[in-house]
Amino acid sequence: MVIETRLVTHGLSSALALDHHGVPLATAAGPARLRRLDGSPKLPGQPWVELTDDTLLPYLRKAFLVETLDKVTPYLWLAGTPTETHISSLHHQSVRGRQVVITEEPGLHLVWYHDKISIKPLPQYLLCTAFWDYIKEADDSIWRAAAGFMRTYCYLIQFESDFRKAIQPELELIPMIDGAAPTFESFVRFISQFKGLDNSAVAKRYSYGMLRLTRLNYLAFFTMGRLTYFHIQPQWIDYIDGIIAPAVTIFAVLSTILNSMQVGLVAV
């Protein structure tokens, strides 16, 4: 097996290794697989998932692919600034009055709604170099989505104040390694490997940064073939009211304008 130029050459965790059914990678032929150095068959940080392709790859696709947003990328400028750098750092999210809400849904990562923003934490296995070597060969679409996701953390964690906030127990956006948090310096050294990635190398959604949920919900009706992108209101009637009220206002304004034009024509 020949691995292309490696993006990740140093990691924060050494929990995983890459081999071929017990044969060292350097002498192996054919597809490689991941194994835990401690002998566990489970994915680090996710004990529900085993390190076998038939369970691992479906889980990773669900954890990182953002196909719905990828498909509507040409319209995402309506929901966010069209640049991957449009991501406020964690401390600035607080300055803007936004509360960080943890999500494991990749399609909600960096989606904000009024005073809240959803952020997906970094799973431990993404901190292993072996994982990146494995997934590049196993499924390039997962690699592109996961790499784009990692690049967002280059902007979320810009200062030590951001880092301290990220490792707090109530958030723990950055996982503990062997019972201890990494240092700010070691984290920056690791995450900076993703900063130079071009948009063409990552999932299309990540050519944008933060996205506004209210506008995504409007986009969903016209571009995604569904009523809403994500239903956050406790009752559907609240969401429907949010659509009807602006529509009624627009209708009333247009009716007034048309009536005025009609009166003007009659007067002539």
Please, which residues have CB within 8 angstroms of residue 135's CB and are 6 or more apart in sequence?
60, 142, 143, 146
Q: How far is 175 from 172, CA to CA, in rounded Å?
A: 6
188 and 244: one domain? no
164 and 75: one domain? yes
pLDDT at 131: 97
pLDDT at 193: 98
Give the tens place of pLDDT for each residue, 226-268. 888 998 765 555 555 555 555 556 666 667 776 766 655 555 5
pLDDT at 28: 52
Residue 38 counted as domain residue: yes
| pLDDT by position in tens, the chain (length 268) | 444 467 899 999 999 999 865 555 545 555 689 999 999 999 999 999 999 889 999 999 999 999 999 999 999 999 999 999 999 999 999 999 999 999 999 999 999 999 999 999 999 999 999 999 999 999 999 999 999 999 999 999 999 999 999 999 999 999 999 889 999 999 999 999 999 999 999 999 999 999 999 999 999 988 888 888 998 765 555 555 555 555 556 666 667 776 766 655 555 5
Q: How far is 187 from 85, CA to CA, in rounded Å?
A: 19
Residue 4 counted as domain residue: no
Residue 5 counted as domain residue: no
Which range marks the domain in which residue 245 is found?
Answer: 236-268
pLDDT at 3: 43
Residue 227 counted as domain residue: no
Residue 1 counted as domain residue: no
Q: How far is 134 from 35, CA to CA, in rounded Å?
A: 10
Mean of per-residue pLDDT scores for the chain? 88
246 and 213: one domain? no
214 and 240: one domain? no
Structure tokens at 21: 């059914």
155 and 183: one domain? yes
Residue 79 counted as domain residue: yes
pLDDT at 2: 40
162 and 92: one domain? yes
196 and 123: one domain? yes
Secondary structure in 3-state letters for the chain: CCCCCCCCCCCCECCEEEEECCEEHHHCCCCCEEEECCCCCEECCEEEEECCHHHHHHHHHHHHCCHHHHHCHHHHHHCCCCCCCCCCCHHHHHHCCCEEEECCCHHHCCEEECCEEEECCCCHHHHEHHHHHHHHHHCHHHHHHHHHHHHHHHHHCCCHHHHHHHCCCCCCCCCCECCECCCHHHHHHHHHHHCCCCHHHCCHHHHCCCEEHHHHHHHHHHHHCCCCCCCCCCCHHHHHHHHHHHHHHHHHHHHHHHHHHHHHHHHC
263 and 148: one domain? no
183 and 260: one domain? no
214 and 241: one domain? no
Asked if 90 and 162 touch (Cβ cutoff 8 Å), the reply is yes
Give the tens place of pLDDT for each residue, 25-39. 545 555 689 999 999
Structure tokens at 84: 């991957």
Q: What is the total count of domains within the chain? A: 2
